[in-house]
Amino acid sequence: METSLGFPFRFAFFEEGGDAFAEIVSLAHAGVLLDGAVDEAVELFVYQAKKCIGALVAVLGGLDTLVFTGGIGEHAAPVRWEIAQGLAYLGVALDPVRNNGAAPIVSADGSRVLARVIPAQENLMVARHTYATLFEIVNR
């Protein structure tokens, strides 16, 4: 896929979940929650994320940048870490300090894939979609 800048750009976008799930994951990772169902839910989520990203990578023919966004992508460093560990064969490597600090770029130096954390700005998206819908109704 070519960008307007004229160079190939393959991009996998990941957005799921919410702040409540991120809190559960953080507590589970810290050992506060010992419920096997929580661990199983997190493992299943990570598995599904890796599967979906892998499918996108296959269709795109490679991966240059991996973006984590939304509640989990922005706030659950342990989930980002587990997903990235499962994608190491693609060249995804996170820096543990950057990842735990939720820096905008969480990939390790020398990683073949740039990993970013980008705020989702859900309120802005809702406003844009609402405006577009209202504008469409008014102009019928």
Number of domains in the chain: 1
- Tell me, yes or no, whether 2 lies in a domain: no
Higher-confidence residue of 36 and 132: namely 132
Q: What residue numbers bound the domain in which 43 lies?
A: 11-138
- Tell me, yes or no, whether 35 lies in a domain: yes
| Alpha-carbon distance values, 44 to 32, 49, 50 (Å) | 19, 9, 10
CA distance 31 to 38: 11
Tokens matching residue 67: 């973006």
Within 10 A of 84 (CB to CB), how many other CB atoms are there? 25
- Tell me, yes or no, whether 4 lies in a domain: no
pLDDT value at position 136? Answer: 80
- Tell me, yes or no, whether 1 lies in a domain: no
Higher-confidence residue of 14 and 88: namely 88
Task: Dump pLDDT digits (tens) for 34-56.
Answer: 567 677 878 888 999 999 999 99
Task: Dump pLDDT digits (tens) for 69-81.
Answer: 887 888 888 889 9
CA distance 6 to 4: 5
CB distance 98 to 106 below 8 Å: yes
For residue 38, give the CATH number of its domain: 3.30.420.40
pLDDT value at position 85? Answer: 96
Task: Dump pLDDT digits (tens) for 60-105.
Answer: 999 999 999 887 888 888 889 999 999 999 999 999 999 999 799 9
